[in-house]
Amino acid sequence: MTEKNVSENFITQIIDTDLASAKHNKIHTRFPPEPNGFLHVGHVKSICLNFGIAEDYQGLCNLRFDDTNPAKESIEYAQSIQEDVEWLGFKWNDKVLYSSDYFDQLYVYAEELINKNLAYVDEQSPDEIRQTRGDFTTPGTNSPFRNRAKLESLDLFRRMKSGEFKDGQMVLRAKIDMQSGNLNMRDPILYRIKRQHHIRTADKWCIYPMYDFTHCISDALEGITHSICTLEFADHKPLYDWVLDNISIECHPQQIEFNRLNQTFTIMSKRKLNELVESGTVEGWDDPRMPTVSGMRRRGYTPSSIREYAKKSTVTRKPSVVPMSMLEDSVRHELNNTAPRIMGILHPLKVVIENYPEGQCEMITAKNHPMDESFGTRDLPFGRELYIEADDYKEGANRKFFRFTEGREVRMRYAYYLTCQRAIKNDKGEVIELRCTYDPDTKGGSSPDGRKVKGTIHWVSADHADDVELRLYDRLYNVVSPKGKDDLNPDSLKILKNAKLEPGIIAGSEGKQYQFERTGYFFRDQTHENDKPVFNRIVTLRDSWAKLEQE
Ligand code: ATP
Ligand code: MG
């Protein structure tokens, strides 16, 4: 049996029951994004749930764009959403669907409601409609147009459609109950006049249906069995059911609400994400610090690790917040098993091996994965001059520092034991070079006399290393529940322009995740190239935020 996408939860239990009772024999879900922005990690939970359930039950999942609000929607957003869903590894049923595919049918259903005296044209101004709606403590009051003859409403509605009236001059409303305890049931608007070019239907329509009217009918027309949405739609469910109960349509999908994904250290509202982009705080929607799917992709997160994370964030009816470290751990855990190890130096310090012959170069065999032999080995050039990390040397270090200090012997990973003789400083007193000696008998990283060294450090050959730019990403916000600008982490991006990478990597590096030994996981940036190749840090080797999250 292949592993399931979705762990058992109250929704899969409902589905199991529906299949057992033969209420349904094939499960059909849908993911209904509005093409008004990029997908974020919250949407991923919904995607994994809808597409995942369809896959687990050999059912179908539609990708349907909810395009009823033409002012904010674009083809570019719709394309980016399709790309993201495919990248995550899901396939939608048949072709991409749009709510606007049903505009003609929706219009016919609206006339049906008018004919049944269940909808009317209201000529109150938008302000009047708002004021007479009441609130949680005050019931609404009936519109003076509520009881107009249905033929009059029908005539006005047809003329709304044909463009006789100004935007906002009148609306079509459902006739339900202005005293209802549920505000959504107080004669909700079904259609408004809006002269706005639409991404699909162009200028065919000057009236557009509202989301609540459109969504349930689109679900029903597509034969959706379970309409899975987030908790804030629970209050809309009576309206969802009312519409389907009152029009001539056979199918009546079951709306089921679950807890949306909230994540520590993360802002997910599209409006606030857009502000980050517009203000230049980040490079764009795909900035690797953004919680967007495109940002995570550019950073080097894998689809499978994101899906694993979504699977772990429980599906219940209780609001919850998931630690961001759970996402990072999921990425780290996968890459620990799958990423080949290579050597890269973030802050290079030159080492000169004084007793190593000038001009000589030899090959050192290095393992591509310390635990998994199947990754094989590679040969790395080693010579008189190397680069190591600057902080692998410390002047006058005590005995607990196992790396270089004067007189200390350290293992160069897979190569030789080196002893630090002295550091050379510039006139500002900064260390610019280490002078070392090596023991020729320690090739391969062990000594025939059994002499042990405690420290092992990584290195690259100075003559052969490639110059690269590294971008060290950290969390965009440094507080657990960020509100806005004041909570931005000033250290969320550090650019290292003079980093060094072992030779032989760059040419084949596109689309591959690597572990730079001892420093983190890295991924070649697919969109950004300066004078040098750029690698993004995907995630550090260890979690440095855990403490803060537990506070
Ligand atoms: P945002 O508020 O971030 O703009 P949205 O709800 O307006 O998101 P839609 O395009 O309408 O975005 O969302 C498509 C689907 O994704 C909806 O079914 C919605 O319930 C779901 N969704 C959105 N945000 C989350 C989240 N944080 N967790 C789970 N599902 C979500
Ligand atoms: Mg929405």
Q: Please tell me the residue having the least CA distance from ligand 1 atom 2.
A: 269
Q: Please tell me the residue having the least CA distance from ligand 1 atom 22.
A: 43
- Cα of 534 vs centre of ligand 2, distance in Å, is 36
The predicted structure's pLDDT at residue 370 = 93
The predicted structure's pLDDT at residue 527 = 79
The predicted structure's pLDDT at residue 515 = 98
DSSP 72: G
Q: Is the pLDDT of residue 543 over 90?
A: no
Q: Is the CB of 270 under 6 A from ligand 1?
A: yes
Q: Is the pLDDT of residue 417 over 90?
A: yes
Ligand 1 atom nearest to CA at 228: 18
For residues 54 and 85, the answer to whether their CB atoms sit within 8 Å is no
The predicted structure's pLDDT at residue 227 = 98
Grade residue 548 by pLDDT with cuts at 50, 70 and 90. Answer: low
**pLDDT 10s digits, 194-221:** 999 999 999 999 999 999 999 999 999 9
- Cα of 42 vs centre of ligand 1, distance in Å, is 7
- Cα of 175 vs centre of ligand 2, distance in Å, is 25
**pLDDT 10s digits, 467-510:** 999 999 999 999 999 999 999 999 999 999 999 999 999 999 99
The predicted structure's pLDDT at residue 526 = 82
The predicted structure's pLDDT at residue 8 = 96
**pLDDT 10s digits, 369-407:** 999 999 999 999 999 999 999 999 999 999 999 999 999
Residue 438 to residue 411: CA distance in whole angstroms: 10
- Average pLDDT over all residues of the chain: 96
The predicted structure's pLDDT at residue 544 = 73
Q: Please tell me the residue having the least CA distance from ligand 1 atom 27.
A: 42
Residue 147 to residue 301: CA distance in whole angstroms: 58
What is the number of alpha carbons within 13 Å of residue 185 lying toward its C-beta? 16
Grade residue 79 by pLDDT with cuts at 50, 70 and 90. Answer: very high
Proximal ligand: closest to the CA of 37: 1
Quote the percentage of the chain above a pLDDT of 90. Answer: 95
**pLDDT 10s digits, 302-341:** 999 999 999 999 999 999 999 999 999 999 999 999 999 9
The predicted structure's pLDDT at residue 550 = 58
- Residue type at 170 in one-letter notation: M
Residue 514, Cβ density class (10 Å: 0-12 exposed, 13-18 middle, ≥19 buried): buried
Grade residue 546 by pLDDT with cuts at 50, 70 and 90. Answer: low
Q: Is-catalytic flag, 4?
A: no
Q: Are strands 513-516 and 520-524 parallel, antiparallel or unpaired?
A: antiparallel
**pLDDT, average across residues 26-34:** 97
From 148, 158, 260, 394, active-site residue? 260
Neighbours of 316 (CB within 10 A): 12
Adjacent-strand bridge partners of 282: none
Q: What pTM, to 2 d.p., does this model score? A: 0.94
Residues 6 or more apart whose CB falls under 8 angstroms from that of 449 comprise 441
Helix (H, G, I), strand (E, B) or coil at 219: helix
Adjacent-strand bridge partners of 435: 352, 422
The per-residue DSSP string of 426-494 comes to -TTS-EEEEEEEE-GGGTTT--TT----S-EE--EETTTPEEEEEEEE--SBSSSS--SGGGB-TTSEE
Q: Is-catalytic flag, 34?
A: yes
Q: Is the pLDDT of residue 545 over 90?
A: no
**pLDDT 10s digits, 333-352:** 999 999 999 999 999 999 99
Q: Residue 465's closest CA among 388, 352, 520, 375?
A: 388
Helix axes 41-56, 303-312, angle to 10 degrees: 80
Strand order in the sheet with 513-516: 341-342, 513-516, 520-524, 534-539, 466-473, 493-501, 344-345
Q: Is the CB of 229 under 6 A from ligand 1?
A: yes
**pLDDT, average across residues 62-70:** 96
Both structure tokens of 325 = 């470290």
**pLDDT 10s digits, 232-287:** 999 999 999 999 999 999 999 999 999 999 999 999 999 999 999 999 999 999 99
Q: Please tell me the residue having the least CA distance from ligand 1 atom 31.
A: 43
Q: Is the pLDDT of residue 549 over 90?
A: no
Q: Is-catalytic flag, 148?
A: no
- Cα of 61 vs centre of ligand 2, distance in Å, is 19
Ligand 1 atom nearest to CA at 271: 4
Ligand 1 atom nearest to CA at 47: 16
Grade residue 439 by pLDDT with cuts at 50, 70 and 90. Answer: very high
**pLDDT 10s digits, 131-170:** 999 999 999 999 999 999 999 999 999 999 999 999 999 9
Distances in whole angstroms, Cα of residue 326 to Cα of each of 48, 228, 333, 518: 16, 24, 10, 21
